[in-house]
């Protein structure tokens, strides 16, 4: 069986996300409203399964196709052995903390969509979304062997 090429799928998703962002900029970087927020220069935190469902709708794909493409290309950060990108995160942005199902998305995936296909003059700034310091040990284990989120992501 030949290996699947996911680059076309990823490009299609980036084009769809960029176009949607141009029409509805609140889709990204507004904590409490957006499907993903930038937490440092390397990562966005995506609300799951809303992020995958929205990308699937925008790209005309099934959610499992979107998840598989993002995991296989490294755009979803995963940890062995199960390679599941979803983990519980306690986050805050000024109000009381909220626990959600989140996934870390490589910032290049979203930044390229926004800048190349969304007409943004530059990549998005880091949002006000922060992750609870109590999640840090678990995240350090999750990111073992990868660039972990920077200290600025925690509250």
Say yes or no to pLDDT of 4 above 90: no
State how many domains the chain has: 1
Structural domain contains residue 13: yes
Residue 126's pLDDT is 98
Say yes or no to pLDDT of 66 above 70: yes
Structural domain contains residue 126: yes
Structural domain contains residue 1: no
Structural domain contains residue 128: yes
Structural domain contains residue 137: yes
Residue 114's pLDDT is 98
What span, in angstroms and rounded, lies between the C-alpha atoms of 77 and 87? 11
Structural domain contains residue 70: yes
Task: Compute the average pLDDT of residues 82-111.
Answer: 97
Half-sphere exposure of 72 (CA within 13 A, CB side): 14
Structural domain contains residue 98: yes
Task: Compute the average pLDDT of residues 5-18.
Answer: 96
Name the band, by pLDDT with cuts 50, 70 and 90, for residue 2.
Answer: low
Task: Compute the average pLDDT of residues 104-108.
Answer: 98
E-assigned strands of the chain?
36-38, 43-47, 86-92, 98-106, 130-131
Is the CA virtual torsion 61, 113, 46, 148 positive or negative? positive
Structural domain contains residue 2: no
Longest dimension (CA), the chain: 51
Domain that holds residue 133: 7-153
The tens digit of pLDDT for each residue in 32-61 reads 999 999 999 999 999 999 999 999 999 999
């Amino acid at each position: 069986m030949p290996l699947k090429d996911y680059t076309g799928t990823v490009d299609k998703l980036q084009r769809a996300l960029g176009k949607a962002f141009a029409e509805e900029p609140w889709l990204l970087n507004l904590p409490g409203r957006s499907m993903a927020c930038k937490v440092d220069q390397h990562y966005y935190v995506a609300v799951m399964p809303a992020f995958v469902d929205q990308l699937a709708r925008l790209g005309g794909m099934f959610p499992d196709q979107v998840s598989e493409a993002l995991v296989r290309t490294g755009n979803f950060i995963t940890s062995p052995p199960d390679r599941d990108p979803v983990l519980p995160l306690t986050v805050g942005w000024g109000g009381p903390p909220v626990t959600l199902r989140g996934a870390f998305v490589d910032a290049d995936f979203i930044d390229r969509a926004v800048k190349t296909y969304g007409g943004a003059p530059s990549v998005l700034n880091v949002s006000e979304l922060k992750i609870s310091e109590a999640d840090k040990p678990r995240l350090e284990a999750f990111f073992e062997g990868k660039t972990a989120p920077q200290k600025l992501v925690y509250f």
